A and B are shown apart, each in its own frame.
Chain A
Amino acid sequence: MEKAIITVVGKDAVGILAKTCTYLAEERINILDISQTVVQDYFNMMMIVDLAKSAVPFAKIAQDLSRLAGRLGMEIRIQKSEIFEKMHRV
């Protein structure tokens, strides 16, 4: 398991989830969990994904996602999950 967290932030629009998931499926990135919330009209989505089966290097995934974000007019970040686990769990 090579867990990472993808966050998608921006104005809500049709097809954000679909397009992000399509990309992840193509690159064999498994989605473990999705949650979302709307804060002050901003759409916030978080996906916990597993990169273990993907052959694409991390930097390339980050680049692809940020290109996709540009097309969707959103911000998409991918970060290895340890930063959140370390910060919020003793």
Chain B
Amino acid sequence: MITIGEVLETNKMILEENLDVRTITMGISLLDCARGTVAETCEMIYAKLMRLAENLVKTGDDIGSEFGVPVINKRISVTPIAIVGAGCCKKPADFVRIAKTLDKAAKKLGVNFIGGYSAIVSKGMTKADALLIRSIPEALAATEHICSSVVVGSTKTGIDMDAVRMMGEIVKATAERTAAKDSLGCAKLVVLCNAPDDNPFMAGAFHGVSEADAIINVGVSGPGVVNHVLKSIRGADFETLCETIKRTAFKITRVGQLVAQEAAKRLGVPFGIIDLSLAPTPAVGDSVADILREIGLEHPGAPGTTAALALLNDQVKKGGVMATSYVGGLSGAFIPVSEDQGMIDAVDAGALTIEKLEAMTCVCSVGLDMIAIPGDTPASAISGIIADEAAIGMVNQKTTAVRVIPVIGKTVGDTVEFGGLLGHAPVMAVNKFSCEAFVSRRGRIPAPIHSFKN
């Protein structure tokens, strides 16, 4: 029988420590929606989304109120649109029409994002992939609820440097197209290496071709809970520290498992995976940076940060794995800058630089995330940043990503306000030296050797 102490502990996590289910994401295959014309394809896509996700938002809200745990976001991920539109889209504007259709569906269904305006070009690009990539700036400017991602490399294929170069330009163009909104379009655009097919988190969510027709993936959260429990063991040895994080991650993840199974049952869609994540929000106390501070750093960015983060990330996985039957997605601690008040403070204090963040991405999920950079950063520098992150992912067999926002008209020292979960961010300095000649080379970086690990 459950004890009053256990009940009070759970409710304290929810009411005071920001424990929530960050997202229920329904993955939907649109492969069967491809038709000969753009109009027909759009019609099929809209109809399928309406049919499968009709009750998604209501179900999420019902589950939230019945179990007394907030289910923050209800989202959809779809088959990469470059594949769905490959037959019918002959110009970038054709893809934008599909983006607008998805946006219309998102509004009608009440979901806050649809992810999957994507192309997977880890080794090479089809004509359709190139068209979709070129359409991204316009698609993100013309829609509100669409997230776009481009996969430019993997451990098995190497890195498609032609795509990397192109994405530097596309990120820049997206920033310019949405300059009036502090280049907000770039907050919905991510460039990935080793992207998983079942990621429930935006902006990198898409429903991979290895997936079933429809599936429910859930991302949990709870940095505030971990932080709070660590306060109670201040100064303890590493064994106690790690055991405590593990135990807490288990509890957090069990809530995700329960919500995922319940959502799958009620929606009649199979349960896919739980993303074992610590996802921060700009809310005070809901911060991964605060955990790092509690572990013993004055600010994230101080020497020791990478080790502390590696420890945290590993314990979250170890605790979470046993709490759920299927793990997937990005699984790990997220370190977005603008979405985490502690990270913002660390940047403001001068403790955290892009270079240190890059080192941190070697040991955690996922990459350089939600970082505002000067609007005059050249496209080649953005390509260089993307190439660096992709290389870390490729060599270490992990997912890495870049979501940087070159904020047009702003420079180091300025602050950008994105609003809501996307938060606000100080503009961070980018290394001024050029990599133009490097990223201008054509072709791809070969896949790495899988032996002689050094």
State which of B7-15, B31-39, B231-239 sits at the interface with chain A.
B7-15
Given contacts A5-B7, A46-B7, A87-B251, contact A80 B2 (CB under 8 A): no
Q: Does B326 contact A (CB under 8 A)?
A: no
Q: Is A77 a contact partner of B10 (Cβ separation < 8 A)?
A: no
Contact assessment for B67 and A83 in the assembled complex, using a CB-CB cutoff below 8 Å:
yes
User: Is A71 interfacial (CB-CB < 8 Å)?
Assistant: no
- In the bound complex, CA of A86 to CA of B68 (Å): 14
Q: Cβ of A88 and Cβ of B67 under 8 Å apart?
A: no
Is the CB of A22 closer than 8 A to any CB of chain B? Answer: no
Q: B3 at interface (Cβ–Cβ under 8 A)?
A: yes
Q: Is A72 an interface residue (CB 8 A)?
A: no
Which residues of the partner chain B approach A58 to less than 8 Å between Cβ atoms?
A: 66
Which residues B237-261 have CB closer than 8 A to chain A? Answer: 251, 254-255, 257-258
| Cβ-closest chain A residue relative to B262 | A82
Among residues 177 to 203 in chain B, which have CB atoms less than 8 Å away from a CB atom of chain A?
Answer: none
When chains A and B are docked, how far (Å) is the Cα of A74 from the Cα of B69? Answer: 20
Return chain B residues, CB-CB under 8 Å to A84. Answer: 2, 6-7, 10
A77 touches B3 (CB 8 A): no
A30 interfacial by beta-carbon distance below 8 Å: no
Interface residues on chain B, number (Cβ under 8 Å): 22
Would B67 and A48 count as touching, CB distance under 8 A? no
Decide: A80 near B1, CB < 8 A? Known: A7-B7, A86-B255. no
Q: Which of A35, A44, A79 contacts B67 (CB 8 A)?
A: A79
Binary contact track A53-90/B, C-beta < 8 Å → 1, others 0: 00000110010000000000000011111111111101
Please state if B6 and A82 are interface contacts (CB–CB under 8 Å): no
**Chain A CB within 8 A of B4 CB:** yes
A80:B11 contact, CB within 8 angstroms: no
Output the residue of B2, B10, B66 with the most chain A CB within 10 A: B2
Q: Which residue of B lies closest to A32 (CB)?
A: B1
CB–CB B254/A87 < 8 A: yes
Give the distance in Å from the alpha carbon of A5 to the alpha carbon of B6 in the complex.
Answer: 11
Residues of A within 8 A of B62 (CB): 59
Main secondary structure on B side of the interface with A? helix
Q: Which of B60-99 contact A (CB under 8 A)?
A: 62, 65-69
Which residues from chain A contact B7 at a C-beta distance below 8 Å? 5, 7, 46, 84
| A51 nearest CB across to chain B (Å) | 11
CB-CB under 8 A from A39, the residues of chain B are 8
CB closest chain-A residue, reference B67: A83
Question: Considering the chains assembled together, what is the distance between the CA atoms of A86 and B10 in angstroms?
Answer: 11
Contact B68 A77, beta carbon cutoff 8 Å: yes
Residues of chain A in range 25-46 having any CB-CB distance to chain B below 8 Å: 33, 35-37, 39, 44, 46
Residues of A within 8 A of B322 (CB): 90
Contacts of A87 in B (CB 8 A): 6, 10, 251, 254-255
* Chain A residues within an 8 Å CB radius of B11: 7, 77
Q: How far is the CA of A18 from the CA of B386 in the complex (A)?
A: 64
Task: Report the minimal beta-carbon distance from B249 to chain A, rounded to whole angstroms.
Answer: 12
Q: A46, B66: Cβ atoms under 8 Å?
A: no
CB distance from B325 to the nearest CB of A (A): 12
Task: Name the B residues within 8 Å of A78 (CB-CB).
Answer: 68
A contact residues around B8 at 8 Å (CB): 7, 39, 44, 46
Asked, given contacts A7-B7, A46-B7, whether A86 binds B257 with beta carbons under 8 Å apart, the answer is yes
Q: Do residues B4 and A79 form an inter-chain contact, with CB atoms below 8 A?
A: no
- Seen from chain A, the residues whose Cβ lies within 8 Å of a Cβ on chain B are 5, 7, 33, 35-37, 39, 44, 46, 48, 58-59, 62, 77-88, 90
- New contact pairs (8) apart from A33-B1, A84-B2, CB-CB < 8 Å: A5-B2, A5-B7, A36-B4, A39-B8, A79-B67, A83-B68, A86-B258, A87-B255
